[in-house]
Amino acid sequence: MPRLAGLLFILASAVFSIAALSYAFAPDPGRLPEPQNASEQNLAIVVNVSNPISNLSMSELRKIFLGERSHWPNGRRITLVMMEAGQPERAVVLRDICQMNETDFNNHFLHGVFTGEVLVSPKTLATPVGVRKFIFNVPGAIGYLRVSDLDSTVSVVRIDERGPEDKGYKLHVPPRSPK
């Protein structure tokens, strides 16, 4: 037992030291966006124009954005398009649809791919233009865009029977910060 107690003390000291050092130098974890305000825009969920889906429930949308649904009803594989970490649009999707923070979302997909339950990780794109082009080119793609970034190359999906122009729509994104 003395040997074990000594070992316990050494290990505990080591863990405490590592933890203390890491805490001191740890960067602030990713935070969710600021609370909504009146100047916010709505965030539209968009799919390829050939996709017959026009409405999804929030629950279905969540399953799609977490990779728990991998195929559209027409058999086409779902390809999820996400914007890069740090973009307000992505933060809204993580908060309001996935209900996860950045770390949990990444771990969720890593674990899902590891178990084989998730077929592919999300495609990450830098800009709304990139998202729009990708969704135009990939029939099974789904992503999100500010209403001001929409054009006719993508199709907007209603959520719980509400479109981005409707009252009571749930996805709002803060205005872009001026460059």
Tell me: does residue 24 bind other proteins (CB under 8 A): no
76 Cβ contact partners less than 8 Å away, ≥ 6 residues apart: 51, 139, 140
DSSP 119: S
What are the DSSP E strand ranges found in the chain? 41-48, 55-56, 79-83, 123-125, 141-146, 154-159, 172-173
By the rule CB under 8 A, 1 interacts with other proteins: yes
- Asked if residue 120 binds other proteins (CB under 8 A), the reply is yes
- Would you say 29 or 168 has its CB closer to other proteins? 29
Does position 38 interact with other proteins (CB under 8 A)? The reply is: no
- Which of 42, 48, 87, 155 binds other proteins (CB under 8 A)? It is 48
SS3 content of the chain, % helix, strand, coil (to 5): 40, 20, 40
The token duo for 91 is 């933060």
- Binding-site ranges for other proteins (CB under 8 A): 1, 3-4, 7-8, 11-12, 14-15, 18-19, 22-23, 26, 48, 50, 59, 69-71, 75-77, 79, 84, 99-101, 103-104, 106-107, 110-111, 113-116, 119-121, 123-127, 129-130, 133-134, 136-140, 151, 153
